[in-house]
Every structure is written in structure tokens, then in C-alpha cells.
Amino acid sequence: MKINNSPLDILFKPKNIVIFKANQKISFFVEGFIRQGYDLEKLFLISTTEKEILGVRCYNVIEDIPEDEIDLLILSIRRDLLIESLKRILSKKKVRFVHIFTAGTGEFDDLGMDIERKLKVVLDNYKDTRAIGPNCMGLYSPRGKIAYYSSFPVERGNIGLIFQSGDLHSKMIKFSSKKYDLRFSIGISIGNCIDIQISEILEYLNEDIETDVICIYFEGISPLHINEGKKLFKVLKKMRKPVLFMRGGKTSRGQKAVLTHTGALATKSDIWQAIYKQTSIIEVPSSLEELIDYTYLFSRYISRFHKLNIEVTFPKNKKALVILWSGGFGILATDSLTELGIELPLFEGKALEKLKTIFPIRVGSLSNPFDIPWITHRKEVVDICKSAIDENIDLVIIETDTWRDMENERFKGYYKNLLELREYVESLNKIFIIILHQYPSKSLEMFHQKLMNDKFIVYSTIEAAAKAFLKLFEFGKKLERM
């Protein structure tokens, strides 16, 4: 495996791990490591109350463990014991990275803020020891076989995450892996940032060969690192990988909520507007669902180029061909796509006649949207679509619904058409998206699973697909200007 030759490599691939102190309440860490296949001989649990957790032996005190150097120390202890414990451990062992899991610090009250200040002083005395947190869930790094939840996928992917909320970080991984089969290179719930900053991790992910798209959930700057703002801006300016940036505390009411969450310093909206203008980063609305929707398209789109070993290019225009089963949906799609700023080139006159010579329809429409439910299984559909897709079309959207019977010839013809069309569209480096509306239904679930297995890009609404496409388009335009 290629590594980045950065000191942070060890954080994401630690040779050994100590949890201080382990107990049943945080057994999810152990479960996560087991699931990822981490070498349990190198996982050391320190506990005075437990003998073992999930089959992993507990040591009474840190002196008992055989290792002198600790790559990753997970510190989970009452906040009033944090400073003394850290000092004591650092005096006994060489520690490369500390993940301070404990919450209720700077985000909670003045006493907690004081604890953060003192922790920083301790860390400043140990230059070789770096820390993430406090108030964070920590690391997900399939390359290092570490994860704090057993529900996180073992397989590696091309998405990097830096989140100032452990729960959002967890839900991003859980929801998106289950919903869209997304996979990740590295994820970090980074918390209150008393030592390692977002900018450092971002630089790391920018160099990381496995990472194609980066998602950041940002709440603010630690009061202990007021220069981080400038550093972050500097790193963002040089980013050439897409960074999907979701900011918590965009509204002033939201800022008040941030104070009780990470205790981060407020940043102003106008500053962020300037940053969005001067960098290639993509602003994401305050919705985890939208972030996941966007990440899906970026991840899948870029990885296709990388697999073919060709340079990534982004859509030049915002022109779509829409193919569906329903006139009514066609009207709604036309209105909503038009309102979002996507064009639907109208096929009329000679262009329309040309399409009609391929298949003379008696009802429905070939004007774009195509409304041709009765012939979706016939091979002429592919010919009509191919004829309609010239260099102007950037996006082909097929809206569909479940099939009662996935064994009959109509379905087989239809599905063959989907595969053939996608191949054609993607051979032109254009985007092919299927819309499958979601509602509880066994046959829908089966059809959806089949589409997912065959790696189709499937969204549940045309708006979600269109918004994701527009972000990809925006990123391409931004890159051009950089």
C-alpha cells in the first residue's frame, strides 16, 4: 500500500492501541476493531473493574502492558481525572497519538474550558505526542482496520470525512453506506480540536491517494487555536479535490447551539461567502441527506475516471435528456429542473421527425421529456435515445418505478436497454442517473437492489439528482477558474 509519508500515517494505521479506561459502556470501540479485523494482540484495554471485554483481556494498570511505545491511546475517563491521567501515562510510555474521547469539556462550561487549556499545556510539553478531541468519537480508518462502531464497512473507498460532530460522522457513514453503498478512505470525528486541527487533516487527505472527495462538517475554531482560521483558508485555497463543506451554525440561532456543542468560536457568514468565492469548495445546505446525495455523485463520478485511468473532466453544460413513463411526471420534472437551472433541449421540427422515424409513436411524447412507457422494453428505445444524445447533453435521467414481475420478457428487454444506454452515455463521459421513488414495497426493494448491484446511480427524487449534478457542475466551473 502506498502511504503518504506523513507523521499522521500512524494515526490512521496504528500498530497498537490502548484504551484507558475500558468498560462495558464503551465496548463499541472493541466491537469496531474486531469487525475491522484489527490485530487484537495489539489492542490493550486498561480497566480496574473488568477482566475482559468481548474476549479481549483487560490490564489493571498501564505499566502492565508489554509495549513501551503506544501509537494510539484512547482516553476515556471522567473530565476531572483527564489531566492527571494523561500526565501519568505520558511519563510512563511514549505515546504518538491520543484520542481524547471524554466529553463535557470546552463545549459544556467554564470548568471544562479550563480543562482544555490545561490539557494543551500538558501536550505542549510532549512534542512527539499529538491529540484529537476532546469530545469526539475519533477514528474510522479501514486501511488501519480501525473503527469505533461495528456497523462501519470494512471495505475501503474514496471518501474522506472530517467532522466536528461524532454523531453526524457516524450517521454519515451508516446512512450513506446502507443507502448508496458509499465507502470511505478515512473518517475522523475531530471534536473540540485542542491540538490537531481540521486544516492538518485536510492537507493529509489532499495528499492521500485513496481519497477523491472530502466532506467536512465544520462548527468553528477552537479558542485555543485562533490562527486555525487563516491556516484552514490557506489549505482550502490550494485544494484541487472536491471539498463538500457543511457548516453548522450558519444562522445566529445556530451559533448559539454551536456554543453548547463544541464550544467553538463563531465564524461569520460573510467571511464564509468570501471563502466559497475564492476557493473550489462546495457549500452544502444544513442537511445530512443533501450532503450524502452530493457525495454519492462525486464519489461515483470521479472513481469512474480513475478506474479508466483517464483525467477527470466535469460537465460543460447543464443540459439533460429526461426519459420517463408518465406525462405528468414529465411536466413536473420539466418545471422543477427548469427552476433549478437545468435545461431540457426541446426536440421539435426536424429533430423530432428524425426521432419519430426511428419509432413512430401513437401516444406520449418524444419532445424531451420522452414519455414512452409502452415501448421501454423494445430495442428501438435505445436507438431513439442514442440519436437524441449529442454533445450537448450532459445528463441522462431515467425515471422509473417498480416491476411486478422481474422474470418476464418485457422487464428483461427494459433492463437490457438500461444497461446498454448507461454504457453508451458513460462512454461519452456523461452522467446516467435512474430515479426510483421510494415507498415500502417488496418488489421495489428487489428492483432497487438489482440496480445497486449493477452499480447504477439511483436517486429517489429527480430534485435530489439534479441538485447533486449541479454541485458537480459548479465544482467543474470553479476548477476552471482556479
Q: Is 293 in the site for a copy of itself (CB under 8 A)?
A: no
Q: Which of residues 125-164 bind a copy of itself (CB under 8 A)?
A: 163-164
CB of 384 to a copy of itself, least distance (A): 15
Nearer to a copy of itself, 213 or 258 (CB): 258
Cell of 367: 419532445
Residues 6 or more apart whose Cβ sits within 8 Å of residue 178: none
Q: Least distance (Å) from a copy of itself to the CB of residue 196?
A: 19
249 binds a copy of itself (CB under 8 A): yes
Other C-beta atoms lying within 10 Å of the C-beta of residue 139: 25
Please identify, using beta-carbon distances, which residue of 8 and 333 lies nearer to a copy of itself.
Answer: 333
Binding status of residue 326 toward a copy of itself by CB under 8 A: yes
CA distance 258 to 271: 17
Q: Which residue has the cell 462546495?
A: 282
Amino acid, single-letter form, for residue 48? T
According to CB under 8 A, which one of 98, 152, 369, 475 is a site residue for a copy of itself? 369
Please, are residues 160 and 167 in contact by the beta-carbon 8 Å criterion? no
Q: Which amino acid is at 214?
A: I
| Closest CB to a copy of itself among residues 44, 347 | 347
Binding residues for a copy of itself restricted to 217-236, rule: CB under 8 A: 217, 219
Which listed range, 34-42, 55-63, 203-211, 327-335, lies at the site for a copy of itself (CB under 8 A)?
327-335
Q: By CB under 8 A, which span of 4-12, 65-73, 205-213, 358-366 interacts with a copy of itself?
A: 358-366
Residue nearer to a copy of itself on the CB measure, 44 or 459: 459
**What is the C-alpha separation between 354 and 344, in angstroms, rounded?**
18
Contact segment (CB under 8 A) with a copy of itself among 254-262, 274-282, 382-390, 408-416 equals 254-262
Contact at 8 Å (CB) between 417 and 376? yes
3-class SS of residue 273: helix
User: Shortest distance, CB of residue 185 to a copy of itself, whole angstroms?
Assistant: 21
| Distance, CA of 97 to CA of 69 (rounded, Å) | 10
CB 425 within 8 A of CB 469: no
Residue selected from 363, 405, 427, 453 as contacting a copy of itself according to rule CB under 8 A: 363
> Rule CB under 8 A: is residue 168 a binding residue for a copy of itself?
yes
Burial 278-291 (b: 16+ CB within 10 A, else e): ebbbbebeeebebb
User: Does 339 interact with a copy of itself (rule: CB under 8 A)?
Assistant: yes
The DSSP-derived string for 348-380 is: -HHHHHHHHHHS--SSSB-SSSEE-GGGTTSTH
Rg over alpha carbons for the chain, rounded to the nearest Å, is 26
- Distance CA(469)–CA(38), nearest Å, equals 38
Give the one residue of 60, 227, 287, 313 binding a copy of itself; rule: CB under 8 A: 287
| Span 57-96, contacts to a copy of itself by CB under 8 A | none
Would you report the helix, strand and coil content of the chain in percent, each value rounded to 5? 45, 20, 35
Does position 327 interact with a copy of itself (CB under 8 A)? The reply is: yes
Tell me if residue 441 falls in helix, strand or coil: coil
Q: Per CB under 8 A, does 28 bind a copy of itself?
A: no
* Stretch 380-399: interaction string toward a copy of itself, x if CB under 8 A: --------------------
Q: Which is nearer to a copy of itself, 357 or 438 (CB)?
A: 438
User: Is the separation of the CB atoms in 58 and 46 below 8 Å?
Assistant: yes
Which of 106, 134, 138, 248: binder of a copy of itself (CB under 8 A)? Answer: 248
Whichever of 103 and 236 has its CB closer to a copy of itself, that residue is 103
Among 367, 403, 406, 474, binds a copy of itself (CB under 8 A): 367
Q: For residues 399 and 416, what is the distance between their CA atoms, to the nearest angstrom?
A: 16
CB-based contact 272:234 (threshold 8 Å): no
Interaction of residue 435 with a copy of itself, rule CB under 8 A: no
271 binds a copy of itself (CB under 8 A): no
The yes or no reply on residue 269 touching a copy of itself (CB under 8 A) is no
Give strand pairing partners of 216: 162, 245
Is 350 one of the binding residues for a copy of itself (CB under 8 A)? no
Is residue 175 a contact residue for a copy of itself (CB under 8 A)? Answer: yes
- Return all residues near 327 (Cβ < 8 A) that are at least 6 apart: 364, 365, 371
60 by Cβ neighbours in 10 Å (0-12 / 13-18 / 19+) ranks as exposed
State the residues that interact with a copy of itself by CB under 8 A: 103-104, 107-108, 163-169, 171, 174-175, 178-179, 217, 219, 246, 248-251, 253-254, 256-258, 260-262, 285-289, 325-336, 338-339, 343-344, 346, 362-363, 365, 367, 369, 371, 401, 437-441, 445, 461, 463
